[in-house]
Structure 1
Amino acid sequence: MFERISKFTNSTSFFNASKVTIASVVPVIILSSFGYFEIGFTIALGAFYTYPSDIPSTLKHKVKGLIVASLIVSGVNLLVNLAHAVPILFYPFLGLLLFFCSLISVYGQRATLVSFSALLSISLSFGHLHKGIEAFQYSGFIFVGGMLYLLVSLVYHYLQPYKYVELQIAEGIKLTSKYLKLRGDLWNPEADRKAIIEKQLSVQVELNLINEDLRKVLIGNQNSSGGSSQNRKMLLVFITLIEIQELALYTSFDHSKLHEKFDKYPEVLRTYQNVAYKLASSLKKLSKNVHTFAVYADKNDLKNELSALETAISDYEKSLSKDAAAEGVLMLTNMLKYAKNQVGKIKIIQRAFTLAMQSFKLKDKDKELEKFLTPQYYPIRTLIENLSFSSSIFRHSLRLTITILIGYIIGELLPFENGYWILLTIVVIMRPGYGLTKERSYNRIFGTILGGILAFGIVSLIQNHIALSIFSIVCMLLGISFASVNYKVSATFVTMYVVFIYGILTPDIVSVIQYRILDSLVGAILAYFANQFLWPAWEFVNTPSHIENSVRANRNYLNEIADYYNKKGEIPTTYRLARKNAFVEVGNLMTSFQRMMQEPKSKQKTLPLVNKLVVLNHSLLSALASLSTYIQSHKTTSASESFNYIIKTILSNLDQSISILKNENNIAHIFFDKEDVTLQFEELKRINFTRLATDDDLDTETRQAKMQEASMVIEQLIWMSSLSEKILKNTKDLKQ
């Protein structure tokens, strides 16, 4: 129990929620003691409006972002109050304001959250309308609240500048551990590989989000000021964690083939699986202790497990003739080497948290790191380009604007006590996608009913204002903490918070609960039907573009790998960028697939094909990572003509797939005869294995290393060739 509480209080969601809770509660407590509760509450609203835009970034971007957010939320509140005094102009003005505030989300994550805050400010402004000088004063207090939140956020930053990074890295290590555990599960002969791969993809999506946040903070700080010792240390851990994730992909083999090959020797695969589980366990224990700096260190450094695998390989080799065991030993030796490599990576992270590591430097590559960040700029051209129905954000902005206007009219015409709650519900639960809006509608209604019942029971028993104030603060903190984790729980605590506040201000709690439930129900119904009928954004329309982006990213990654294999030397930045993009785009494809699964069955006609393409792209990325990791960590021979020929066939298959997905079937492509490709594979095997077996100038160790390279490269080329053909076939089926 205490472990769960500690885990929750050390999460990023609780960390962020504590900032806005302090910024909201302090002005209310202080100003209420002087008889200015309304001013304190308005300042608290300003802090609440501003906090969503406090996303991971450099300090400079944080300050600028929060100031702009404060100006926007206070500005739109002032405009609503001023326009409301002129009824004939109010409705068209409100529509334009709502549309513009929604449309600014075209500028990315921070703009999307500022857009959300602005819409919240507009919705809640109808609960506190003012005229004349009072409108300016009220808007000013909202801006003060935003500045107060900025102050609290800066205090948190300077007191614990790396707290957020530590929490995110701990979460990244935990998810990487989960990914390794799923990799280990694949070695069970009876494993449901399809279900495991889907779980892996979901974990990869989460990892992509965390990695992007960490890049913004760590690389941004490194580039802006050269980076402190702690920043360099965290950057080392982050880079190592990325390498562990790539190494984890290396263990992606054709498991059916391996189980068939080692059918009579299952013990050797079980031994390797035990190593995989131990690696995952070590990372999991490490993640639990990162924030305390009492980092877990495995006493035997997995020596026992690695020794057991070495013994199993030796026993396997002894049980067969030299020729019969050669291929299997090469495969198992590869697996052993990369298990040792993972152990080495884990040790780097352990040392990073236990040693000062003042001397860590990025080999003068700091200036190259900036290329891994998504540039932040806001040209007006981006806004203009999205003013058409071809833009999903334009359609969503129009849909949201119309729905809020309908909600406002209903609240005005019908006897709702707090009609602005309808608008608030629409803003909070309505999302561009059908599935997420439906889910949030259900969770909102469920949480509102449950929270109302629980809060009513507490208020019926306790009328003490101090106790209710404490309850309201706790519920606010928990409601915000769970907002990004579990919206149903968040809605429950937020409702309880609202009821407790009204329990302090008014005795008629039953009426408050009834109207809140009714308003939430109306808002949820409006949002649901708007997403169903007002220019709906079905995911099957967007999925082909995500597939195209994923195929292209894998294609570019393969091209960089082949180029490096031919040229050798230092690994270029373009190579690392291609690798990053491949991981991100496969994750985006999986996210699109998950959204598609939430939509009505009638909109899921292409779901089986999309599922196949998700798995195929992930498998191709795994094969690419395997080849990439091998050639980076071994001294490889020169690339042969056969190798380059096969690479060209794979690239050609992927290029054709991209053209099909773009509806550019008229573009000419180089087509390779299947028999020629087979001959090239045979030639590649002959060149490598025959030459190596008969070359008397090579010593045993060198011959074994080169045989290992030949086996590894050919195995991955065969797999990638097969995957590229399947991707091409399925893209053709998808577009028919």
Structure 2
Amino acid sequence: MVLPIPQLQRFIYSHYLLGGLRQSIGVLLPVTLLGGVFKLYDIGVVASMGAMCVAIVDQPGGPRRYRSNEMLGGAALGTFTAFITGLSSSSPILIWLLVPILSFLYSMLNVFGKRGGLIGFACLLLMALTLRFPMSPNEVLIHTLYSGGGAFFYFIFSTLFRKILLYREERRTLSVALFSTAEYMVRRSRFYDAETDLDDNYRDLIRVQADMTEAHQAARDMVLRELPKGGDSHAEAHRLALLSIFVNMVSLLDSLVATNTDYANLRRRMADSDFMIFARDALFKMAIDVGHIALNVSRHRKTKQRQSVKAELRALEFELERYKRSGLNTTEPEIYALLVQILRRLRNAQKTVDHMAAQTRSPSNDLPLDQYLDKSLSRFLSREEIRLGMFTSNLRWNSSHFRYAVRVSCATFLGLAVPTVVAYFSPDIEILSALTSYSHWIILTSLVIMKPGFALTKQRNSWRLMGTVLGCALTFILFKLTTQLEVYFFVMLIAYVLGNSLVQMNFMLSAVFNTIFVLLSFQFLHTGDSFVIGERLVDTIIGSVIALICSYILPWWESNSMSDFAQEAIKANKNYLRTGLYYAELNRQHNAATLRPDATTHALALSPEYLAQLEMDLNEADTQWQLARRNVHVSFSNFASGFYRMMNEPVSRQHNVALLNNLMIQSHVLASQISAAIPLLASLPEIPDGVATALTAIELEINNLDAPPIGSLETEGELAMLAYPLRQMIKAAQLIRQDMRGLVLSSGPPAPTQLDLLRPILDVGKPK
């Protein structure tokens, strides 16, 4: 069961294709205008190289105002890189010194996050391209001027491109997040299908949730930073519609995440009942609706034809009534309460989907806009801090960023060494020298492949090799089919657009199209010889081998980070529970003061000042709880991504797999049940003794403290719905505590420090 919207259609209307189109036009315009119109091909190529440096930083999905600063920083640093590399290009000794040093410094920019890594990678590629031929000092100045001009040209072009296509990228970024939500809903619906394997589906769900969390954060950064600010009424209505859809998407996700159920027990009890079938079909149909809404948001169209779930919801009501008549609500009150809860959540989810669809037809101002314009919302946005101390503090052997920078430096050093060694020992073998004559291409291949993690480097290595081989084969076939330069130029443009667009979605296909683009570019520079295909293939293989070898130099195994990921996930859950309980307490106080005021309450307690302060405290508590929920999703996504990266590493480097897998599952269960329990706790007039004892035990267990025995939980009325999530939270907290103990014990005693090793020597001669 997959989302019935073709991947090709989703790609066409995604921000990936829009970003690839923007990058490709901005990079190719200088060489097209200067070369095609003024016949200044050399100047156009250099300007396009500078533009490409900034285009790499200009990735889709980020906020415009921050990306502008990043592009300007990339343009300035890239221009400096072209200048110093050009000055060193005529001296082999300087090149051998400069290239490894720059490789190390620019690779260390990963300490500043994703954007810092992109700037460093762009400068490294520009450095490699500048190594193509030696230059005199005068040529260096001219080359730097042209390269810097191309870089700043791209910045201006990208800014104008967004002005012309106003809100297009915002819509497409939100669309990608909606598609991710729809995929998550499809995986959720499979839990109600008795034919699917629970463990396999759960692992699939975790992977999808990790990707969805990243897509949601990109949409959050884009939409919340572009909130309505007045001015043009049409623009304000359009932005407000995007904001409304985003808020509904988050609300839908929260409702789904809060439905973590004991599906194994539910399947044993309900088996292939009609209730399970109707629940599965209802959720799957809503996923289809969300997918169509995503498509229409991207295309800026109205959502008209939709999947109706009225029949499924009515059938669920009928089944529930039938179970009630048979006495299920008295014999098994928790199972019955769980079924009621499933039906309520499906109803709420359908209302949310209906509201999203309505916003695509006629945007309405039914959101508390003041709340969303509040400055406190800035806490939900992702921020990448930049401090010099972040760089210097990572200059140590146990830093993953430092180790990665060392590996990249070694790879570029070997990239310079291979052609030199071949030329020295085999000067008479012309074909061998020709095949390995482009050291910059070898370095480029290694830079593109190498990533901080071993598993990702190995994976990209195989993708790059397969993509290059396939791209060379397709280009060779094209050369045999036609010699028309017009056809070559058209294919080259299409290949470059697709290569840029697919780099974040499918690296192998991106490598295929980028290889075709480069080979066709060489055909324009060296017409009439297809030997260049063999040259690029051999250089790519050498670069891939170098990247594979260097990945074993000071490797950073994911198992080294898994304990930190687990602790961050647990810490996020602690904060989620704490802020949730505080929000529930304030909500009960607010309800008591406004909806059920006690006649004996002191007059001051019901004063307007008190109520206003209580309202402010409640809103702040609600914001804090939502922020904690966002942090739970992010920390869990990091934990899951790290775990699956570790599983792609050598078996000898996979440590505590069972413990970490169970920790990941229980962390997810705990967060889901907190999401389910807090709204119920907030709606109660007071907390029963059994519930209060259970909550105390959960807090103690999750803080690694012994909890008193838990008695029976009240299950009368609405409390039946609260019993199940509380029991699941207790069980999850106990298992998390147990697994964390096992994780600590498995790591063994801490390794001795240098001071510990030297202490016996230092203590010699000291008085006893």
> What is the TM-score with the length of structure 2 in the denominator?
0.86
Query: Contact 1:57/1:217 (CA < 8 Å) preserved in 2?
Result: yes
Whole-angstrom CA distance in 1 between matches of 2:526 and 2:390: 48
Query: Contact 1:180/1:276 (CA < 8 Å) preserved in 2?
Result: yes
Pick aligned residue for 2:523 from 503, 514, 520 = 503
Q: Hey, what does 1:435 align to over in structure 2?
A: 455
The residue type paired with residue 169 of structure 1 is L
Query: Contact 2:228/2:239 (CA < 8 Å) preserved in 1?
Result: no
Unaligned runs of 5+ in 2: 423-432, 591-617, 747-768
Whole-angstrom CA distance in 1 between matches of 2:42 and 2:19: 25
CA RMSD of aligned residues (A): 2.3
Q: What SS class does the counterpart of residue 551 from structure 2 fall into?
A: helix
Q: Hey, what does 1:560 align to over in structure 2?
A: 579
| 1:249 partnered with 2:257 | yes
Whole-angstrom CA distance in 2 between matches of 1:334 and 1:583: 23
| 1:579 partnered with 2:599 | no
Q: 1:205-237, CA deviations, whole angstroms, 9 ceiling, x for partnerless residues?
A: 111111111222222233988994333321221
Whole-angstrom CA distance in 1 between matches of 2:252 and 2:268: 28
Q: 1:627-684, CA deviations, whole angstroms, 9 ceiling, x for partnerless residues?
A: 235456xx3222245433322322232222xxxxxxxxxxxxx3124xx22x2xx1x4
Q: Hey, what does 1:622 align to over in structure 2?
A: 672
Q: Hey, what does 1:133 align to over in structure 2?
A: 138
The residue type paired with residue 189 of structure 2 is G
Q: 1:501-533, CA deviations, whole angstroms, 9 ceiling, x for partnerless residues?
A: 22222146343112211111111111111112x
When residues 644 and 92 of structure 1 are mapped into structure 2, their CA distance, relative to the original with a 3 A threshold, is farther
Q: What SS class does the counterpart of residue 222 from structure 1 fall into?
A: coil
Shift of 1:70: 0.9
Q: Hey, what does 2:702 align to over in structure 1?
A: 654
Pick aligned residue for 2:31 from 24, 28, 53 = 28
Whole-angstrom CA distance in 1 between matches of 2:307 and 2:706: 54
When residues 162 and 215 of structure 1 are mapped into structure 2, their CA distance, relative to the original with a 3 A threshold, is same
The residue type paired with residue 614 of structure 1 is M
Whole-angstrom CA distance in 2 between matches of 1:104 and 1:2: 39
Whole-angstrom CA distance in 1 between matches of 2:5 and 2:584: 52
When residues 614 and 435 of structure 1 are mapped into structure 2, their CA distance, relative to the original with a 3 A threshold, is same
Query: Contact 2:178/2:249 (CA < 8 Å) preserved in 1?
Result: yes
Query: Contact 1:531/1:537 (CA < 8 Å) preserved in 2?
Result: no
Q: What SS class does the counterpart of residue 369 from structure 2 fall into?
A: coil
Whole-angstrom CA distance in 2 between matches of 1:188 and 1:3: 23
| 1:293 partnered with 2:300 | yes
Identity of matched residues, %: 22
Shift of 1:412: 2.9
Shift of 1:440: 1.1
| 1:477 partnered with 2:512 | no
When residues 322 and 455 of structure 1 are mapped into structure 2, their CA distance, relative to the original with a 3 A threshold, is closer
Query: Contact 2:102/2:124 (CA < 8 Å) preserved in 1?
Result: no
| 1:320 partnered with 2:360 | no
Whole-angstrom CA distance in 2 between matches of 1:563 and 1:384: 40
| 1:731 partnered with 2:736 | no
Shift of 1:329: 3.5
When residues 622 and 4 of structure 1 are mapped into structure 2, their CA distance, relative to the original with a 3 A threshold, is closer
Q: 1:459-505, CA deviations, whole angstroms, 9 ceiling, x for partnerless residues?
A: 23322222212221111112212211212111111111122122222
Whole-angstrom CA distance in 1 between matches of 2:385 and 2:264: 49
Query: Contact 2:303/2:358 (CA < 8 Å) preserved in 1?
Result: no
Q: What SS class does the counterpart of residue 101 from structure 2 fall into?
A: helix
Q: What SS class does the counterpart of residue 386 from structure 1 fall into?
A: coil
Shift of 1:190: 4.2
Whole-angstrom CA distance in 2 between matches of 1:190 and 1:377: 47
Whole-angstrom CA distance in 1 between matches of 2:632 and 2:137: 55
Q: What SS class does the counterpart of residue 503 from structure 2 fall into?
A: coil
Q: Hey, what does 1:539 align to over in structure 2?
A: 558
Shift of 1:599: 0.5
Q: Hey, what does 1:341 align to over in structure 2?
A: 348
Query: Contact 1:286/1:297 (CA < 8 Å) preserved in 2?
Result: no
Query: Contact 1:233/1:360 (CA < 8 Å) preserved in 2?
Result: no
Query: Contact 1:565/1:638 (CA < 8 Å) preserved in 2?
Result: no
Query: Contact 2:285/2:308 (CA < 8 Å) preserved in 1?
Result: no
| 1:393 partnered with 2:398 | no
Query: Contact 2:446/2:544 (CA < 8 Å) preserved in 1?
Result: yes
Q: Hey, what does 1:42 align to over in structure 2?
A: 46
Pick aligned residue for 1:609 from 648, 656, 659 = 659
Q: Hey, what does 1:153 align to over in structure 2?
A: 158
Pick aligned residue for 1:467 from 487, 492, 512 = 487
What is the 5 A alignment of 1:445-460?
A: 445-460=465-480
| 1:63 partnered with 2:68 | yes
Q: Hey, what does 1:667 align to over in structure 2?
A: none
Whole-angstrom CA distance in 2 between matches of 1:287 and 1:338: 21
The residue type paired with residue 497 of structure 2 is L
The residue type paired with residue 694 of structure 2 is I
Whole-angstrom CA distance in 2 between matches of 1:3 and 1:721: 43
Q: Hey, what does 1:222 align to over in structure 2?
A: 227
Whole-angstrom CA distance in 1 between matches of 2:145 and 2:366: 49
Q: Hey, what does 1:10 align to over in structure 2?
A: 13
Whole-angstrom CA distance in 1 between matches of 2:660 and 2:124: 35
Query: Contact 2:173/2:222 (CA < 8 Å) preserved in 1?
Result: no
Shift of 1:239: 1.8
Q: Hey, what does 2:567 align to over in structure 1?
A: 548
Query: Which segment drifts farther, 334-343 or 622-631?
Result: 622-631
Q: What SS class does the counterpart of residue 244 from structure 2 fall into?
A: helix
Whole-angstrom CA distance in 2 between matches of 1:454 and 1:383: 44
> Matched residue pairs, number?
693
Query: Which segment drifts farther, 268-277 or 221-230?
Result: 221-230
Query: Contact 2:565/2:639 (CA < 8 Å) preserved in 1?
Result: yes
Whole-angstrom CA distance in 2 between matches of 1:224 and 1:57: 19
When residues 362 and 508 of structure 1 are mapped into structure 2, their CA distance, relative to the original with a 3 A threshold, is same
When residues 115 and 636 of structure 1 are mapped into structure 2, their CA distance, relative to the original with a 3 A threshold, is same
Query: Contact 2:184/2:212 (CA < 8 Å) preserved in 1?
Result: no
Q: Hey, what does 1:54 align to over in structure 2?
A: 58
Q: Hey, what does 1:111 align to over in structure 2?
A: 116
Q: Hey, what does 2:607 align to over in structure 1?
A: none
Q: Hey, what does 2:706 align to over in structure 1?
A: 671
Q: 1:25-58, CA deviations, whole angstroms, 9 ceiling, x for partnerless residues?
A: 2222221232201111111112211112124444
Query: Contact 1:411/1:420 (CA < 8 Å) preserved in 2?
Result: no
Q: Hey, what does 1:722 align to over in structure 2?
A: 731
Q: What SS class does the counterpart of residue 649 from structure 2 fall into?
A: coil
| 1:379 partnered with 2:387 | yes
When residues 223 and 294 of structure 1 are mapped into structure 2, their CA distance, relative to the original with a 3 A threshold, is closer
Q: Hey, what does 1:201 align to over in structure 2?
A: 206
When residues 219 and 536 of structure 1 are mapped into structure 2, their CA distance, relative to the original with a 3 A threshold, is same
Whole-angstrom CA distance in 2 between matches of 1:270 and 1:420: 59
The residue type paired with residue 620 of structure 1 is L
Whole-angstrom CA distance in 1 between matches of 2:283 and 2:673: 18
Query: Contact 1:565/1:639 (CA < 8 Å) preserved in 2?
Result: no
> What is the TM-score with the length of structure 1 in the denominator?
0.89
Whole-angstrom CA distance in 2 between matches of 1:630 and 1:511: 71
Shift of 1:565: 2.2
Query: Contact 1:316/1:325 (CA < 8 Å) preserved in 2?
Result: no
Query: Contact 1:475/1:496 (CA < 8 Å) preserved in 2?
Result: yes
Whole-angstrom CA distance in 2 between matches of 1:392 and 1:731: 23
When residues 2 and 103 of structure 1 are mapped into structure 2, their CA distance, relative to the original with a 3 A threshold, is closer
Query: Which segment drifts farther, 507-516 or 451-460?
Result: 507-516
